Amino acid sequence: MTDLDRFARLGIRSEADLLLHLPLRYEDETRITPIASVRPGDTCQVCGEIVRSEVVARGRRTLAVELDDGGGRITLRFLNFYGSQVAQLAVGRRVRAYGDVRGGLFGVEIVHPRYRMVSSSDALPTRLTPVYPTVAGIGQATLRGAILEALSRADWADTVEADVAGPLGLPPLMQALRLLHQPPADAPLSALEDRSHPAWRRLIFEELLAQQLSLKRARAARATQRAVPLTGRAQVARLMAALPFRLTGAQQHAWREVSADLRRHEPMNRLLQGDVGSGKTVIAALAAMQAIGSGRQAALMAPTEILAEQHWRKLRGWLEPLGIRVAWLAGSLKESGKKATRAEVAGGRVDLLVGTHALVEDTVDIPNLGLAVVDEQHRFGVAQRLALRAGRGEALPHQLMMSATPIPRTLAMTYYADLEVSVIDELPPGRRPVRTKLVTEARRAEVVARVRAAVAGGRQVYWVCPLIEESETLDLQTAIDAHAALSTELGDLRVGLVHGRLPSAEKAGTMDAFVRGELDVLVATTVIEVGVDVPNASLMVIEHAERFGLAQLHQLRGRVGRGAAESACVLMYRPPLSATARERLKVMYETTDGFEIARRDLLLRGPGEFLGARQSGLALLRFADLDRDAHLAEAARDAADRMLAGPGAQVDAHLRRWLAGREEFLKA
């Protein structure tokens, strides 16, 4: 591997990337600490003459070098070393060493110090030493050298106007970069490390500005794309009249927004957010009818087969009586079945195609696609979402994305600069709040008794186990074990099992049996996480709840409380709990509000992981932290609007500097 390859692995492909490769932290080598005052736990630099240097061969070979600075002695200890080092670190030589001090058997010592041989006339550095993020094969010295050289050549003109930067208290860009790469000895270390220093804020602002500029440009480009307006009112009215319920106020509101978008010549790019069970599917069905009523086809893609099949079942139930042709496509179908469906779709004999990512395989051709719906959109990669939308010819299909993972407002602003958002913030009437209980697994017998009682009352029960992962099987009671145990314990009850490794036909058969009430208890891994709808299920037990994430627990719990019966969710955990696991379970106990749960989840996890960093404009952010830097994010958004109104060259220069080579993140 060449240095260039290694640098590329660090994301460094240009001089700009080098300059923007900023230190993680700093080491202060501008001072020498007298050895007599060095204490275990300090990180410091000492300097002295070598008075002893020996290779100790007891147990593991180590090189021990003792330094004396006239006032005290300290040992430098090397566990890995070369012969050349033994020769270099000879008695009588002077050494400057930097590192973490610990108490050793014979006084203080530094294990694996960074060191250099010095003569008495060598001056100390006058700047703090930056420590950069790096990868194997690129030493700090190499990086520092390359960055310093780039810094000495660089002469970047500011792309941010002084009247924007000034009021925010931000120094010019070059000045900020010089300070961050080479802080003077008296620079405030803590402000540099927590990134509150004005130089850091300049960089963060620049980065947020680049993100806003690029998202706004992508949006403007999309606005020039064409779509076929969908206006099929009559079909929509027929479905509305045939539904077994009335839309809630929130659904009506969301539907009006979606319906209006579909009538436009510009492709819809809308996210429909609504808590688990809020009734997003019917909005998708109405949208499909509007497309079909305009003589177009519609497609709905869901992340798992179980979920896709549930959608298919439900949509068929609503639409087939109205003469709409609904078809189903998934990886598990026999090749002959798939081929037949593909032919029907290609021939225009299917109005609505429902399925998994099998829908975006090359062989699938939906010639007349007017609307693409993506359920649980965050579970798909950008490429899959785009593939479903890729239309034929000039016009793009409209796209509706649905998600039960609410995005808090602070994130929405940056993440969704390019999306319209509708929210269903109301549950259909008649839902009963689910009562949540936390119990340790020591009380498993009581939980099993509860399962019995629920079934005796004519109800059904979910029993959820963490995913089967080979690497974790040791301490993890898998769904298979749980199923075996429960089958014995519950003797006369009908206990079924589904998990991700089962053949699809078997999985579907078991789910069907549960839906039809032919099973009392369904033991499952998280394959039931999304979308399964069995109103008669009133109890959910989650084993090893401490291993699940908050979003997952919330989704799972949303599977109960859908019918008239009083419902409960038992979170069974194995103590001791980590601090985060404790906090997660506490959140689940305290609230059932999806938005509140998402907010707390964000606090626990940070935004990147929350959204799946690669999926969003968020991936453009290396330095900014949307919680900490919310104020700068707002300022960047306003500045982006002003810049976009001005000469394009300045915008280009800014984006080149910040985003070169990372455009793929913008397609979301």
Name the residue among 275, 200, 351, 332 with its Cα closest to residue 531. 275
245 near ligand ADP, judged by CB under 6 A: yes
Range 505-534, binding Mg ion (CB under 5 A): 531
Residue nearest Mg ion (C-beta atom): 531
- Measured CA to CA, the distance from residue 642 to residue 410 in angstroms comes to 21
280 near ligand ADP, judged by CB under 6 A: yes
408 near Mg ion, judged by CB under 5 A: no
Cβ 227 vs Cβ 390: under 8 Å: no
- Measured CA to CA, the distance from residue 514 to residue 607 in angstroms comes to 37
Q: Would you give the DSSP letter of residue 620?
A: G
Q: Which of residues 377 and 567 has its CB atom nearest to Mg ion in the complex?
A: 377
Per 3-state DSSP, the chain is made up of helix, strand and coil in percentages (nearest 5) of: 45, 20, 35
Sign of CA dihedral 589, 591, 592, 595: negative
94-104 and 107-111 as β-strands: parallel, antiparallel, unpaired?
Answer: antiparallel
Min dist. Cβ of residue 311 to Mg ion (A) = 8
Both tokens of 196, joined, read: 């509150």
406 near ligand ADP, judged by CB under 6 A: no
113 near ligand ADP, judged by CB under 6 A: no
Cβ 46 vs Cβ 32: under 8 Å: yes
Indicate which of Mg ion, ligand ADP, none lies near residue 290 (CB less than 5 to 8 Å, by partner kind).
none
Q: Would you give the DSSP letter of residue 668?
A: -
278 near ligand ADP, judged by CB under 6 A: yes
- Measured CA to CA, the distance from residue 95 to residue 85 in angstroms comes to 12
Q: Which of residues 71 and 430 has its CB atom nearest to ligand ADP in the complex?
A: 430
636 near ligand ADP, judged by CB under 6 A: no
Q: What track of x and - describes contact with ligand ADP for positions 3 through 32 (by CB under 6 A)?
A: ------------------------------
Distance linking the first and last C-alpha atoms of the chain: 33
Of the listed pieces 239-247, 467-475, 483-491, 602-610, which binds ligand ADP according to CB under 6 A? 239-247
Omega within 30 of 0 (cis) for the link into 198:
no
- Measured CA to CA, the distance from residue 412 to residue 415 in angstroms comes to 5
Separation in Å, CA 35 to CA 44, 46, 102, 112 = 10, 6, 13, 17
Both tokens of 550, joined, read: 């908050």
Q: What track of x and - describes contact with ligand ADP for positions 486 through 525 (by CB under 6 A)?
A: ----------------------------------------
Indicate which of ligand ADP, Mg ion, none lies near residue 594 (CB less than 5 to 8 Å, by partner kind).
none
Indicate which of ligand ADP, Mg ion, none lies near residue 245 (CB less than 5 to 8 Å, by partner kind).
ligand ADP
- Residue from 128, 203, 254, 282 touching ligand ADP (CB under 6 A): that is 282
Of the listed pieces 16-24, 93-101, 226-234, 246-254, which binds ligand ADP according to CB under 6 A? 246-254
Q: What track of x and - describes contact with ligand ADP for positions 521 through 550 (by CB under 6 A)?
A: ----------x-x-----------------
Cβ 341 vs Cβ 495: under 8 Å: no
Of the listed pieces 133-141, 280-288, 356-364, 501-509, which binds ligand ADP according to CB under 6 A? 280-288
Range 424-463, binding ligand ADP (CB under 6 A): 428
Cβ 209 vs Cβ 659: under 8 Å: no
Q: Which of residues 431 and 622 has its CB atom nearest to ligand ADP in the complex?
A: 431
271 near ligand ADP, judged by CB under 6 A: no
> SS3 for 657?
helix
Q: Which of residues 176 and 402 has its CB atom nearest to Mg ion in the complex?
A: 402
537-542 and 495-498 as β-strands: parallel, antiparallel, unpaired?
Answer: unpaired
CA angle, 197 then 200 then 205, to 5°: 125
569 near ligand ADP, judged by CB under 6 A: no
- Residue from 279, 391, 406, 617 touching ligand ADP (CB under 6 A): that is 279
Min dist. Cβ of residue 375 to Mg ion (A) = 6
Of the listed pieces 241-249, 592-600, 619-627, 651-659, which binds ligand ADP according to CB under 6 A? 241-249
Radius of gyration of the chain (CA): 31
The footprint of ligand ADP (CB under 6 A) covers: 245-248, 251, 274, 276-282, 404, 428, 531, 533
Q: Which residues bind Mg ion (CB under 5 A)?
A: 531
